[in-house]
Structure 1
């Protein structure tokens, strides 16, 4: 009998760390923000990183995104080890393979929504993929806002433009740092729904840092960080699941 065909048993990993240590400062005042973290985030999923203040969750995201150097260990985007790249290579990787979404939006006030959206392509010297742009604009419901400047947009609309900008280069992964931190609960829920929609309908990979259990419950998976290491891992979380995991940390 011929052997059964091989099957893929593991999901593709979009971003990962292996034994990552991050220390700020030196001597008796040194802070060990990450203490040997090994974790992987699957492609095509919406993952959240959650933990109490000072747990290391933002440091982990900054290291994963190549925004901060690790003290030891390795960080990968796909199969690329970020710790082996020089500054120019790292800048190119962040520009072409990583998207960023922050709570401050970071839209240029003198540019229209469309111009802000296209900016990463202009900086990279790449031609727009009009079909992809049309898909982003439709999924994020921005069709009638493309000629508006940021001051003419609501907070939720500005964050959706920022999300479209993060997705425009078709990055391997989008890192979202407290993306609803400056939004009211209704607008925040809208943005979280669009993040989830970008994963489901556009095949995107999103890794979000949040302190909010309700925001975390929009994700497919929550990685709980405490004292610089992984303290929990929840699939298909509810807000109650996240609250329970955090309460077990004694914070």
Structure 2
């Protein structure tokens, strides 16, 4: 199995500088992000948290190139994405970014293996079978590859979604409330797998969550409030995250 990359903790995977995002105009304008500057190190699991309306989902969407920004810059793997056109953005998201969403977004007519490999197939890329086998083993999916989504539990479906996000060896995986539709046991399994992908496969994961227990699986928690950075917790615990959120009025 692959070892964690040697420059973990020294290389920046994703970086935002002076990020501004405004919804609406004039008196009704809402500054979802008001000049956010933050960097995410490669090979680490970072959670983004904050009260409702703090801008955490907006930040993730801007970092991933899913939303346009109104000011500032975003760099993914050393590439500035804020100036890219639609075609180049689509290529970057396809080749260098992985996504895990609250809803699993699996195609019901395809098997687990076909769902995992679909993005590579659409991109005209052949999978690295050794890497595929490593991911499948780490995620415990070997005996589920021929099953369709309706034949899988929610936790198994989310593991398939995790494998799909990892199989292209992206610079970063963005996870948006990945345990939101799961029971506590299945949610813990998915969080274990995300953490394992960082520690054993050298992956970089950035997760938005509202759950202090989910955030405790991360190496670091970035706190937002009212579109501004409001704190940074290293080696978080559920209690330390909960206390920080209470201080923010969450």
1:28, CA displacement in angstroms? 1.3
TM-score, length of structure 2 as denominator length:
0.96
Instruction: Look up the match of 1:64.
Output: 63
* Cα pair distance change 1:207/1:25, threshold 3 Å: same
Structure-2 residue corresponding to 1:3: none
Measure how far apart 1:186 and its partner are.
Answer: 0.9
Secondary structure in structure 2 of the residue aligned to 1:194: helix
Q: Paired residues, what number?
A: 244
Q: Deviations over 1:176-219 (max 9, x none)?
A: 00000000111101110010001111110000000000000000
User: Structure 1 residue 84 and structure 2 residue 75: aligned?
Assistant: no
Aligned to 1:13: 12
Shift of 1:9: 11
**2:239 aligned residue:** 240
Consecutive aligned runs of 4 or more in structure 1 exceeding 4 Å deviation: none
What is the CA deviation profile of residues 100-153 of structure 1, one whole-angstrom value per residue up to 9, with x for unaligned ones?
000100000000000000001011110110000000000000000000000000
Root-mean-square deviation (CA), in Å? 1.1
Aligned partners of 2:107 and 2:149 also within 8 Å:
yes
- Of 82-91 and 206-215, deviating more is 82-91
8 Å CA contact 2:102–2:178 kept in 1: the answer is: yes
1:1-251 alignment, distance < 5 Å: 11-251=10-250
TM-score by length of 1: 0.96
Secondary structure of 2:142's partner?
A: coil
SS at match of 2:104: coil
2:54–2:227 CA contact under 8 A, matched in 1: yes
Q: Counterparts of 2:177 and 2:171 in 1: how far apart (Å)?
A: 20
Structure 1 or 2, whichever has the larger Rg, is 1
- Residues 9 and 144 of structure 1, relative CA distance in 2, 3 Å threshold: closer
Secondary structure of 2:143's match?
A: coil
